[in-house]
Amino acid sequence: MKRNVIAVDLGASSGRIISASLKDGKMELKEQFRFSNQPIELTDSLYWDYLKIFQEIKYGLMIAQRDLKKIDSLSVDTWGVDYGLLGRDGKMLLTPHSYRDTRTEEFENKLYEKLTPKELFALTGVQPNLINSNFQLFADMNLHPYLKDEVANIMFMPNLVEYFFSGVKSNEFTIASTSGLLDGVSRDLSDDVFNRLGFKKEWFGDIQHGGHVLGNVLPDIAKEVHLDSDIKVIDGIGHDTGAAVYSLPISNQEAKNVAFISCGTWSIVGQQTDKPVVTEQAFEAGLTNEGCFDGGNRLLQNITGLWIVQELQKEWSFEGEMVEFSKMVDEAEDAEHIGSYINPNDPLFATPSNMEEKIIKFLKETNQKLPNSRGELLQIVFESLALSYRDTINNLESITNEEIKRIYMFGGGIKNRLLVQLTANFCKKEIQTGPTEASVTGNVLAQFKALGYFKDDAERLSIVKSSFDTRIITPQAMDSDELNSRIDGFTKILKKEIVN
What would the pLDDT profile of 475-494 be if each residue is shown by its tens digit? 998 888 999 999 999 999 98
Strand spans (E) along 48-170: 73-77, 83-86, 153-156
Q: Which residues are catalytic?
A: 240
Range 3-240: architecture per CATH:
2-Layer Sandwich (3.30)
Output 498 or 86, whichever has higher pLDDT.
86
The domain locations on the chain are 3-240, 250-434+470-500
Predicted confidence (pLDDT) per residue in 443-468, tens digit: 999 999 999 999 899 999 999 999 99
Q: Which pLDDT score, from 0 to 100, does residue 498 have?
A: 60
pLDDT at 499 over 70: no
Question: What is the mean pLDDT of the segment spanning 412-429?
Answer: 95
pLDDT at 143 over 70: yes
Predicted confidence (pLDDT) per residue in 144-172, tens digit: 999 999 999 999 999 999 999 999 999 99
Radius of gyration, alpha carbons of the chain: 22
Residues 48-72: b if buried by 16+ CB within 10 A, e if exposed:
bbbeebeebbbebbbebbeebeebb
- 3-class DSSP state of 234: strand
CATH fold match for the domains 3-240 and 250-434+470-500? yes
Give the chain's mean pLDDT. 95
pLDDT at 253 over 60: yes
Predicted TM-score (pTM) of the model is 0.90
Q: What angle do CA 405, 495, 346 make, to 5 degrees?
A: 85
Q: Which pLDDT score, from 0 to 100, does residue 251 have?
A: 86
Q: What is the DSSP string of 15-49?
A: EEEEEEEEETTEEEEEEEEEEE---EEETTEEE--
Alpha carbon 246 to its chain centroid, in Å, reads 14
Q: pLDDT tier at 469 (50, 70, 90 boundaries)?
A: confident
Q: Which pLDDT score, from 0 to 100, does residue 497 have?
A: 64
Range 250-434+470-500: architecture per CATH:
2-Layer Sandwich (3.30)
**CB atoms closer than 10 angstroms to residue 117:** 14
393, 404 Cβ separation under 8 angstroms? yes
- Of 435, 414, 470, which Cα lies nearest the Cα of 245? 435
Q: Return the bridge partners of 29, or none.
A: 20
420, 414 Cβ separation under 8 angstroms? yes
Q: Which pLDDT score, from 0 to 100, does residue 264 have?
A: 87
Q: Which pLDDT score, from 0 to 100, does residue 470 have?
A: 84
